[in-house]
Structure 1
Protein backbone atom coordinates (compact mmCIF):
# COMPACT_ATOMS: atom_id res chain seq x y z
CA UNK A 1 0.00 0.00 0.00
CA UNK A 2 1.36 3.40 -0.99
CA UNK A 3 1.06 6.16 1.61
CA UNK A 4 1.50 9.92 1.44
CA UNK A 5 2.60 11.68 4.64
CA UNK A 6 2.30 15.44 5.05
CA UNK A 7 4.52 17.05 7.67
CA UNK A 8 5.89 20.37 8.90
CA UNK A 9 9.51 21.47 9.18
CA UNK A 10 10.21 24.39 11.50
CA UNK A 11 12.19 25.61 14.48
CA UNK A 12 15.58 23.90 14.90
CA UNK A 13 14.75 21.34 12.19
CA UNK A 14 14.78 24.02 9.48
CA UNK A 15 18.57 23.94 9.70
CA UNK A 16 18.71 20.19 8.98
CA UNK A 17 19.56 19.18 5.40
CA UNK A 18 17.55 16.83 3.21
CA UNK A 19 19.70 13.72 3.77
CA UNK A 20 19.47 14.13 7.54
CA UNK A 21 15.69 14.57 7.27
CA UNK A 22 15.52 11.31 5.32
CA UNK A 23 17.58 9.51 7.97
CA UNK A 24 15.37 10.99 10.69
CA UNK A 25 12.24 9.58 9.06
CA UNK A 26 13.83 6.17 8.60
CA UNK A 27 14.34 6.04 12.36
CA UNK A 28 10.96 7.61 13.14
CA UNK A 29 9.10 4.99 11.11
CA UNK A 30 10.91 2.19 12.94
CA UNK A 31 10.28 3.71 16.38
CA UNK A 32 6.62 4.27 15.53
CA UNK A 33 6.08 0.66 14.48
CA UNK A 34 4.88 1.60 10.99
CA UNK A 35 5.15 -1.59 8.84
CA UNK A 36 7.35 0.06 6.23
CA UNK A 37 8.16 -1.97 3.11
CA UNK A 38 11.76 -2.57 2.07
CA UNK A 39 13.29 -2.91 -1.36
CA UNK A 40 14.65 -6.26 -2.48
CA UNK A 41 18.24 -7.09 -3.39
CA UNK A 42 21.62 -7.19 -1.68
CA UNK A 43 21.08 -3.97 0.29
CA UNK A 44 17.39 -3.55 1.24
CA UNK A 45 16.25 -0.05 2.17
CA UNK A 46 12.98 1.54 3.21
CA UNK A 47 10.85 2.53 0.23
CA UNK A 48 10.37 6.30 0.57
CA UNK A 49 10.68 9.45 -1.50
CA UNK A 50 10.18 13.17 -0.87
CA UNK A 51 8.35 15.69 -3.04
CA UNK A 52 10.86 18.54 -3.30
CA UNK A 53 13.78 19.10 -0.91
CA UNK A 54 13.45 22.26 1.16
CA UNK A 55 16.36 24.67 1.34
CA UNK A 56 18.23 24.91 4.63
CA UNK A 57 16.84 27.69 6.81
CA UNK A 58 13.36 27.59 5.26
CA UNK A 59 10.27 26.51 7.19
CA UNK A 60 7.29 24.60 5.83
CA UNK A 61 3.80 23.44 6.72
CA UNK A 62 3.46 21.53 3.46
CA UNK A 63 6.19 18.88 3.10
CA UNK A 64 5.41 15.46 1.63
CA UNK A 65 6.91 12.00 1.87
CA UNK A 66 5.65 8.90 0.03
CA UNK A 67 6.25 5.46 1.51
CA UNK A 68 5.08 1.89 1.00
CA UNK A 69 3.74 -0.20 3.88
CA UNK A 70 3.08 -3.93 4.14
CA UNK A 71 -0.28 -3.65 5.90
CA UNK A 72 -2.87 -0.96 6.51
CA UNK A 73 -2.55 1.30 9.55
CA UNK A 74 -5.43 3.63 10.55
CA UNK A 75 -4.50 7.18 9.61
CA UNK A 76 -5.35 8.67 13.01
CA UNK A 77 -3.29 6.02 14.80
CA UNK A 78 -0.30 6.52 12.49
CA UNK A 79 -0.33 10.31 12.90
CA UNK A 80 -0.60 10.11 16.69
CA UNK A 81 2.13 7.48 17.00
CA UNK A 82 4.58 9.25 14.70
CA UNK A 83 4.07 12.57 16.47
CA UNK A 84 4.63 10.86 19.82
CA UNK A 85 8.07 9.73 18.66
CA UNK A 86 8.95 12.84 16.66
CA UNK A 87 11.00 15.86 17.72
CA UNK A 88 10.43 19.60 17.99
CA UNK A 89 10.08 21.04 14.50
CA UNK A 90 8.63 17.97 12.76
CA UNK A 91 4.87 17.43 13.06
CA UNK A 92 2.93 14.84 11.07
CA UNK A 93 -0.27 16.36 9.65
CA UNK A 94 -1.74 13.54 7.57
CA UNK A 95 -1.22 9.89 6.61
CA UNK A 96 -3.21 8.92 3.51
CA UNK A 97 -3.44 5.94 1.18
CA UNK A 98 -2.73 6.79 -2.45
CA UNK A 99 -5.00 5.50 -5.22
CA UNK A 100 -3.77 2.80 -7.56
CA UNK A 101 -1.49 4.19 -10.25
CA UNK A 102 -0.83 7.52 -8.52
CA UNK A 103 2.55 9.07 -9.29
CA UNK A 104 4.84 9.65 -6.35
CA UNK A 105 5.13 13.17 -5.00
CA UNK A 106 8.62 13.68 -6.40
CA UNK A 107 7.46 12.98 -9.96
CA UNK A 108 4.13 14.82 -9.78
CA UNK A 109 4.87 18.14 -8.04
CA UNK A 110 4.45 21.11 -10.39
CA UNK A 111 3.89 24.15 -8.14
CA UNK A 112 4.26 25.43 -4.59
CA UNK A 113 2.96 28.21 -2.36
CA UNK A 114 5.38 30.33 -0.34
CA UNK A 115 5.03 33.04 2.26
CA UNK A 116 7.91 35.52 2.15
CA UNK A 117 8.38 37.76 5.17
CA UNK A 118 11.26 39.82 6.50
CA UNK A 119 13.52 39.60 9.50
CA UNK A 120 13.42 42.40 12.04
CA UNK A 121 15.03 45.52 10.62
CA UNK A 122 14.90 44.31 7.00
CA UNK A 123 11.40 45.35 5.92
CA UNK A 124 11.88 47.15 2.57
CA UNK A 125 11.18 50.86 2.37
CA UNK A 126 9.27 50.50 -0.91
CA UNK A 127 5.64 49.42 -1.29
CA UNK A 128 5.58 45.67 -1.97
CA UNK A 129 2.28 45.67 -3.84
CA UNK A 130 3.21 48.54 -6.17
CA UNK A 131 6.67 47.10 -6.82
CA UNK A 132 5.39 43.59 -7.62
CA UNK A 133 2.68 44.97 -9.90
CA UNK A 134 5.15 47.16 -11.74
CA UNK A 135 7.66 44.34 -12.11
CA UNK A 136 5.20 41.83 -13.53
CA UNK A 137 3.53 44.32 -15.86
CA UNK A 138 6.72 44.08 -17.90
CA UNK A 139 6.81 41.86 -20.98
CA UNK A 140 9.48 39.74 -19.31
CA UNK A 141 11.28 39.48 -15.97
CA UNK A 142 14.79 38.28 -16.72
CA UNK A 143 17.15 37.15 -13.97
CA UNK A 144 20.43 35.26 -13.83
CA UNK A 145 19.55 31.74 -12.69
CA UNK A 146 22.41 29.66 -11.33
CA UNK A 147 22.57 25.87 -11.30
CA UNK A 148 25.25 23.47 -10.07
CA UNK A 149 26.77 23.30 -13.55
CA UNK A 150 26.08 26.67 -15.15
CA UNK A 151 24.18 29.93 -15.07
CA UNK A 152 21.89 31.51 -17.63
CA UNK A 153 19.43 34.34 -18.03
CA UNK A 154 15.86 33.16 -17.49
CA UNK A 155 12.50 34.86 -17.90
CA UNK A 156 10.73 34.02 -14.64
CA UNK A 157 7.47 35.81 -15.45
CA UNK A 158 5.73 32.65 -16.79
CA UNK A 159 6.91 30.74 -13.70
CA UNK A 160 5.22 33.06 -11.19
CA UNK A 161 1.64 31.82 -11.33
CA UNK A 162 0.22 34.37 -8.88
CA UNK A 163 1.16 36.71 -6.06
CA UNK A 164 -0.54 38.62 -3.28
CA UNK A 165 1.23 41.48 -1.56
CA UNK A 166 0.71 42.76 1.97
CA UNK A 167 2.47 45.49 3.92
CA UNK A 168 5.04 43.14 5.43
CA UNK A 169 4.92 39.92 3.38
CA UNK A 170 4.22 38.29 0.02
CA UNK A 171 2.33 35.15 -0.94
CA UNK A 172 3.73 33.50 -4.07
CA UNK A 173 2.53 30.57 -6.16
CA UNK A 174 5.53 29.38 -8.17
CA UNK A 175 6.32 26.72 -10.73
CA UNK A 176 8.28 23.90 -9.09
CA UNK A 177 9.47 20.43 -9.98
CA UNK A 178 11.77 18.72 -12.44
CA UNK A 179 10.79 20.77 -15.52
CA UNK A 180 10.52 24.44 -14.49
CA UNK A 181 11.64 25.20 -10.97
CA UNK A 182 11.94 28.65 -9.44
CA UNK A 183 12.83 29.58 -5.89
CA UNK A 184 11.19 32.49 -4.03
CA UNK A 185 14.63 33.99 -3.39
CA UNK A 186 15.01 34.53 -7.14
CA UNK A 187 11.69 36.38 -7.32
CA UNK A 188 12.75 38.62 -4.45
CA UNK A 189 16.11 39.30 -6.09
CA UNK A 190 14.27 40.42 -9.23
CA UNK A 191 11.93 42.59 -7.15
CA UNK A 192 14.76 44.36 -5.33
CA UNK A 193 16.66 44.79 -8.59
CA UNK A 194 13.60 46.38 -10.20
CA UNK A 195 13.45 48.88 -7.34
CA UNK A 196 17.20 49.52 -7.49
CA UNK A 197 17.77 48.16 -3.98
CA UNK A 198 20.24 45.51 -2.84
CA UNK A 199 18.78 42.41 -1.18
CA UNK A 200 20.65 41.29 1.93
CA UNK A 201 21.29 37.54 2.08
CA UNK A 202 19.69 37.27 5.53
CA UNK A 203 16.72 39.60 5.05
CA UNK A 204 14.05 37.03 4.18
CA UNK A 205 11.93 34.64 6.23
CA UNK A 206 10.51 32.04 3.85
CA UNK A 207 7.89 29.41 4.60
CA UNK A 208 6.54 26.85 2.15
CA UNK A 209 2.78 26.52 2.59
CA UNK A 210 1.87 23.68 0.22
CA UNK A 211 2.81 21.82 -2.96
CA UNK A 212 0.63 20.99 -5.94
CA UNK A 213 0.30 18.70 -8.92
CA UNK A 214 -1.37 19.30 -12.27
CA UNK A 215 -1.41 22.05 -14.87
CA UNK A 216 -1.28 25.73 -13.95
CA UNK A 217 -5.06 26.22 -14.23
CA UNK A 218 -5.97 22.91 -12.56
CA UNK A 219 -3.62 22.59 -9.60
CA UNK A 220 -4.43 20.16 -6.80
CA UNK A 221 -2.73 19.96 -3.42
CA UNK A 222 -0.62 16.83 -3.03
CA UNK A 223 -2.58 16.30 0.18
CA UNK A 224 -5.84 15.98 -1.77
CA UNK A 225 -4.73 12.97 -3.80
CA UNK A 226 -4.96 10.34 -1.05
CA UNK A 227 -7.64 9.17 1.37
CA UNK A 228 -7.71 8.44 5.09
CA UNK A 229 -7.56 4.84 6.34
CA UNK A 230 -10.16 3.94 8.97
CA UNK A 231 -9.91 1.46 11.86
CA UNK A 232 -10.95 -1.40 9.57
CA UNK A 233 -8.17 -0.63 7.12
CA UNK A 234 -10.53 0.83 4.51
CA UNK A 235 -9.81 3.99 2.51
CA UNK A 236 -12.29 6.81 3.05
CA UNK A 237 -12.16 9.11 0.06
CA UNK A 238 -12.34 12.74 1.11
Structure 2
Protein backbone atom coordinates (compact mmCIF):
# COMPACT_ATOMS: atom_id res chain seq x y z
CA UNK A 1 0.00 0.00 0.00
CA UNK A 2 1.04 3.60 -0.58
CA UNK A 3 -0.10 6.68 1.32
CA UNK A 4 -0.21 9.72 -0.99
CA UNK A 5 -0.71 13.44 -0.56
CA UNK A 6 -2.15 15.33 -3.53
CA UNK A 7 -1.88 19.07 -4.03
CA UNK A 8 -4.51 20.61 -6.29
CA UNK A 9 -5.83 23.97 -7.46
CA UNK A 10 -9.44 25.14 -7.52
CA UNK A 11 -10.17 28.05 -9.85
CA UNK A 12 -12.87 29.44 -12.10
CA UNK A 13 -16.61 28.74 -11.74
CA UNK A 14 -15.97 25.55 -9.74
CA UNK A 15 -15.09 27.84 -6.82
CA UNK A 16 -18.83 27.99 -6.16
CA UNK A 17 -18.99 24.21 -5.58
CA UNK A 18 -19.06 23.31 -1.87
CA UNK A 19 -16.72 20.98 -0.01
CA UNK A 20 -19.09 17.97 0.13
CA UNK A 21 -19.64 18.10 -3.62
CA UNK A 22 -15.88 18.39 -4.20
CA UNK A 23 -15.43 15.23 -2.13
CA UNK A 24 -17.98 13.40 -4.30
CA UNK A 25 -16.33 14.79 -7.43
CA UNK A 26 -12.95 13.33 -6.42
CA UNK A 27 -14.48 9.96 -5.58
CA UNK A 28 -15.93 9.74 -9.10
CA UNK A 29 -12.74 11.07 -10.72
CA UNK A 30 -10.63 8.45 -8.93
CA UNK A 31 -12.90 5.69 -10.26
CA UNK A 32 -12.80 7.13 -13.80
CA UNK A 33 -9.01 7.39 -13.67
CA UNK A 34 -8.84 3.73 -12.57
CA UNK A 35 -6.58 4.56 -9.64
CA UNK A 36 -6.21 1.50 -7.41
CA UNK A 37 -7.68 3.27 -4.39
CA UNK A 38 -7.99 1.44 -1.08
CA UNK A 39 -11.50 1.08 0.36
CA UNK A 40 -12.52 0.76 3.97
CA UNK A 41 -13.82 -2.57 5.24
CA UNK A 42 -17.31 -3.32 6.51
CA UNK A 43 -20.86 -3.24 5.17
CA UNK A 44 -20.47 0.14 3.44
CA UNK A 45 -16.97 0.39 1.94
CA UNK A 46 -15.76 3.86 1.02
CA UNK A 47 -12.59 5.29 -0.47
CA UNK A 48 -9.92 6.18 2.09
CA UNK A 49 -9.68 9.92 1.46
CA UNK A 50 -8.89 12.78 3.83
CA UNK A 51 -8.97 16.45 2.86
CA UNK A 52 -7.18 19.30 4.60
CA UNK A 53 -9.21 22.29 5.80
CA UNK A 54 -12.21 22.98 3.50
CA UNK A 55 -12.11 26.05 1.27
CA UNK A 56 -14.91 28.61 1.61
CA UNK A 57 -17.43 28.65 -1.22
CA UNK A 58 -16.48 31.41 -3.67
CA UNK A 59 -12.77 31.30 -2.82
CA UNK A 60 -10.06 30.07 -5.20
CA UNK A 61 -6.86 28.23 -4.35
CA UNK A 62 -3.52 26.99 -5.64
CA UNK A 63 -2.84 24.98 -2.49
CA UNK A 64 -5.51 22.44 -1.57
CA UNK A 65 -4.56 19.01 -0.24
CA UNK A 66 -6.00 15.52 -0.23
CA UNK A 67 -4.56 12.38 1.37
CA UNK A 68 -5.43 8.99 -0.05
CA UNK A 69 -4.23 5.40 0.18
CA UNK A 70 -3.73 3.22 -2.90
CA UNK A 71 -3.15 -0.52 -3.05
CA UNK A 72 -0.70 -0.23 -5.92
CA UNK A 73 0.67 2.32 -8.38
CA UNK A 74 3.25 2.72 -11.14
CA UNK A 75 4.51 6.06 -9.78
CA UNK A 76 3.26 9.29 -8.22
CA UNK A 77 3.57 10.92 -11.64
CA UNK A 78 1.32 8.26 -13.16
CA UNK A 79 -1.32 8.86 -10.47
CA UNK A 80 -1.18 12.62 -11.16
CA UNK A 81 -1.46 12.16 -14.93
CA UNK A 82 -4.34 9.67 -14.61
CA UNK A 83 -6.32 12.05 -12.43
CA UNK A 84 -5.62 15.14 -14.55
CA UNK A 85 -6.81 13.27 -17.64
CA UNK A 86 -10.33 13.01 -16.16
CA UNK A 87 -10.54 16.32 -14.27
CA UNK A 88 -12.98 19.00 -15.34
CA UNK A 89 -11.81 22.55 -15.93
CA UNK A 90 -11.08 24.32 -12.65
CA UNK A 91 -9.36 21.52 -10.74
CA UNK A 92 -5.78 20.52 -11.54
CA UNK A 93 -3.54 18.11 -9.64
CA UNK A 94 -0.30 20.06 -9.14
CA UNK A 95 1.79 17.47 -7.28
CA UNK A 96 1.61 14.03 -5.72
CA UNK A 97 3.95 12.99 -2.92
CA UNK A 98 4.29 9.62 -1.20
CA UNK A 99 4.14 9.81 2.59
CA UNK A 100 5.54 7.67 5.35
CA UNK A 101 2.90 5.23 6.58
CA UNK A 102 2.99 6.88 10.02
CA UNK A 103 2.45 10.42 8.71
CA UNK A 104 -0.43 12.36 10.23
CA UNK A 105 -3.41 13.29 8.07
CA UNK A 106 -3.36 16.62 6.26
CA UNK A 107 -6.16 18.00 8.40
CA UNK A 108 -4.25 17.10 11.57
CA UNK A 109 -1.00 18.66 10.30
CA UNK A 110 -2.58 21.92 9.15
CA UNK A 111 -1.11 24.90 11.01
CA UNK A 112 -1.51 27.98 8.79
CA UNK A 113 -2.68 29.21 5.41
CA UNK A 114 -1.49 31.97 3.10
CA UNK A 115 -4.07 34.15 1.35
CA UNK A 116 -4.02 36.90 -1.25
CA UNK A 117 -6.96 39.20 -0.58
CA UNK A 118 -8.46 42.00 -2.64
CA UNK A 119 -11.81 43.66 -3.28
CA UNK A 120 -14.10 42.90 -6.16
CA UNK A 121 -14.12 45.70 -8.80
CA UNK A 122 -17.63 46.88 -7.92
CA UNK A 123 -17.01 46.68 -4.17
CA UNK A 124 -13.81 48.65 -3.70
CA UNK A 125 -13.76 50.75 -0.51
CA UNK A 126 -14.12 54.53 -0.89
CA UNK A 127 -11.02 55.08 1.27
CA UNK A 128 -7.36 54.02 1.32
CA UNK A 129 -7.98 50.62 2.88
CA UNK A 130 -4.33 49.56 2.76
CA UNK A 131 -3.11 52.58 4.72
CA UNK A 132 -5.95 52.19 7.23
CA UNK A 133 -5.36 48.47 7.64
CA UNK A 134 -1.63 48.93 8.18
CA UNK A 135 -2.48 51.25 11.08
CA UNK A 136 -5.05 48.77 12.37
CA UNK A 137 -2.62 45.84 12.29
CA UNK A 138 -0.02 47.81 14.25
CA UNK A 139 -2.23 47.69 17.36
CA UNK A 140 -1.11 45.70 20.40
CA UNK A 141 -4.37 43.72 20.31
CA UNK A 142 -6.91 43.02 17.59
CA UNK A 143 -10.12 41.99 19.35
CA UNK A 144 -12.97 40.29 17.50
CA UNK A 145 -16.09 38.29 18.30
CA UNK A 146 -15.90 34.76 16.95
CA UNK A 147 -18.76 32.28 16.76
CA UNK A 148 -17.95 28.99 18.51
CA UNK A 149 -19.93 25.86 19.38
CA UNK A 150 -20.65 27.34 22.81
CA UNK A 151 -21.67 30.76 21.47
CA UNK A 152 -19.91 34.04 20.72
CA UNK A 153 -16.42 34.45 22.17
CA UNK A 154 -14.04 37.40 22.17
CA UNK A 155 -10.61 36.58 20.75
CA UNK A 156 -7.38 38.44 20.03
CA UNK A 157 -6.48 38.03 16.35
CA UNK A 158 -3.00 39.53 16.72
CA UNK A 159 -1.13 36.27 17.51
CA UNK A 160 -3.04 34.50 14.73
CA UNK A 161 -1.46 36.72 12.06
CA UNK A 162 2.02 35.34 11.37
CA UNK A 163 2.90 37.70 8.51
CA UNK A 164 1.38 40.20 6.13
CA UNK A 165 2.36 42.51 3.29
CA UNK A 166 0.57 44.80 0.86
CA UNK A 167 0.92 45.58 -2.83
CA UNK A 168 -0.17 49.17 -3.43
CA UNK A 169 -0.12 48.82 -7.22
CA UNK A 170 -2.24 45.66 -7.31
CA UNK A 171 -4.30 46.72 -4.29
CA UNK A 172 -3.86 43.35 -2.62
CA UNK A 173 -2.89 42.10 0.81
CA UNK A 174 -1.06 38.83 1.47
CA UNK A 175 -1.68 37.25 4.87
CA UNK A 176 -0.27 34.19 6.61
CA UNK A 177 -2.96 33.24 9.11
CA UNK A 178 -3.37 30.57 11.76
CA UNK A 179 -5.45 27.61 10.58
CA UNK A 180 -5.38 24.66 12.96
CA UNK A 181 -7.64 22.61 15.21
CA UNK A 182 -6.78 25.01 18.05
CA UNK A 183 -6.89 28.42 16.34
CA UNK A 184 -8.25 29.41 12.94
CA UNK A 185 -8.55 32.97 11.68
CA UNK A 186 -10.68 33.43 8.59
CA UNK A 187 -9.97 36.41 6.29
CA UNK A 188 -13.60 37.52 6.50
CA UNK A 189 -13.44 37.76 10.30
CA UNK A 190 -10.24 39.83 10.11
CA UNK A 191 -11.64 42.23 7.53
CA UNK A 192 -15.00 42.43 9.28
CA UNK A 193 -13.32 43.48 12.53
CA UNK A 194 -11.12 45.96 10.66
CA UNK A 195 -14.08 47.65 8.99
CA UNK A 196 -15.98 47.76 12.28
CA UNK A 197 -13.00 49.44 13.96
CA UNK A 198 -13.22 52.39 11.55
CA UNK A 199 -17.01 52.56 11.53
CA UNK A 200 -17.50 51.15 8.05
CA UNK A 201 -19.86 48.45 6.82
CA UNK A 202 -18.34 45.26 5.43
CA UNK A 203 -19.88 42.57 3.21
CA UNK A 204 -18.12 39.21 2.96
CA UNK A 205 -19.13 39.04 -0.71
CA UNK A 206 -17.00 42.11 -1.45
CA UNK A 207 -13.76 40.23 -0.77
CA UNK A 208 -11.80 38.19 -3.32
CA UNK A 209 -10.16 35.32 -1.41
CA UNK A 210 -7.38 33.27 -2.96
CA UNK A 211 -5.64 30.65 -0.84
CA UNK A 212 -2.03 30.36 -1.97
CA UNK A 213 -1.05 27.35 0.14
CA UNK A 214 -1.53 25.44 3.40
CA UNK A 215 1.34 25.16 5.88
CA UNK A 216 2.45 22.56 8.41
CA UNK A 217 4.51 23.07 11.58
CA UNK A 218 8.06 21.68 11.67
CA UNK A 219 9.83 21.49 15.04
CA UNK A 220 13.57 20.88 14.80
CA UNK A 221 14.21 21.42 18.49
CA UNK A 222 15.96 24.79 18.48
CA UNK A 223 14.10 26.10 15.42
CA UNK A 224 10.37 26.01 14.75
CA UNK A 225 9.05 26.97 11.35
CA UNK A 226 6.08 26.46 9.07
CA UNK A 227 6.22 25.50 5.41
CA UNK A 228 3.80 24.30 2.71
CA UNK A 229 2.86 20.61 2.82
CA UNK A 230 4.66 19.99 -0.47
CA UNK A 231 7.71 22.17 -1.15
CA UNK A 232 11.43 22.02 -1.87
CA UNK A 233 11.90 25.77 -1.48
CA UNK A 234 13.47 26.94 1.77
CA UNK A 235 12.30 30.48 0.92
CA UNK A 236 8.78 29.27 1.63
CA UNK A 237 9.64 28.62 5.28
CA UNK A 238 8.44 31.05 7.92
CA UNK A 239 10.28 30.87 11.24
CA UNK A 240 8.26 31.27 14.42
CA UNK A 241 9.34 33.05 17.57
CA UNK A 242 10.05 30.94 20.63
> TM-score under structure 1 normalisation?
0.89
Q: Secondary structure at the match of 1:185?
A: helix
Please show how residues 173-192 of structure 1 align to structure 2 within 5 Å. 173-192=176-195
Cα distance, 1:74 vs. partner? 1.6
Residue ranges of structure 2 left out of the alignment (5+ in a row): 233-242
Q: 1:224 pairs with 219, 231, 237, which one?
A: 231
The answer as to whether partners of 1:110 and 1:215 remain within 8 angstroms in 2 is no
Q: CA RMSD in A?
A: 1.7
- Contact 1:14–1:56 at 8 Å: present in 2 too? yes
Q: 1:198 aligns with which of 184, 196, 201?
A: 201
Aligned-partner Cα distance in 2 for 1:93–1:119? 27
The answer as to whether partners of 2:50 and 2:67 remain within 8 angstroms in 1 is yes
Counterpart-to-counterpart distance in 1, 2:231 and 2:166: 26
Q: CA deviation at 1:126?
A: 3.1
Question: 2-side partners of 1:41 and 1:176: how far apart?
Answer: 33
Distance 1:117 1:215 in 2: 30
Q: Which residue matches 1:7?
A: 8
Match of 1:212, SS state, is: strand
Contact 2:73 2:79 in 1 (8 A): no
Superposition pairs of residues 106-121 of structure 1, within 5 angstroms: 106-121=107-122
- Give the strand-richer structure, 1 or 2: 2
Give, in whole Å, the separation in 1 of the partners of 2:167 and 2:203: 20
Deviations 1:127-162 (A, max 9, x none): 344323211222211111123552111111110111
**Paired residue secondary structure (1:53):** coil
Please give the alpha-carbon distance, in whole angstroms, between the structure 2 residues aligned to 1:123 and 1:170: 14
1:61 Cα deviation (Å)? 0.7
The 3-state SS of whatever aligns with 2:81 is helix
Higher relative contact order (CA 8 A, sep 6+): 1
Cα distance in 2 for partners of 1:190, 1:19 equals 29
Paired residue for 2:235? none
Q: Matches of 1:146 and 1:166 in 2, distance apart?
A: 31
- Partner secondary structure for residue 224 of structure 1: coil
Number of matched residues?
225
> What residue number does 2:98 align with?
97
Following superposition of structure 1 onto structure 2, how do residues 146-157 of structure 1 map, counting pairs within 5 Å? 146-147=147-148, 149-157=150-158
Quote the Cα distance in structure 2 between the aligned partners of 1:73 and 1:8. Answer: 23
Q: Residue in 1 aligned with 2:139?
A: 138
In 1, Cα distance between equivalents of 2:74 and 2:227: 25
Q: Which residue pairs with 1:209 in the alignment?
A: 212
- Residue 230 (structure 1) aligns with: none
- TM-score w.r.t. the length of structure 2 is 0.88
Which stretch of the first structure deviates more once superposed, 204-213 or 161-170? 161-170
Partner residue of 1:83?
84
**Cα distance between partner residues in 2 of 1:215 and 1:185:** 27
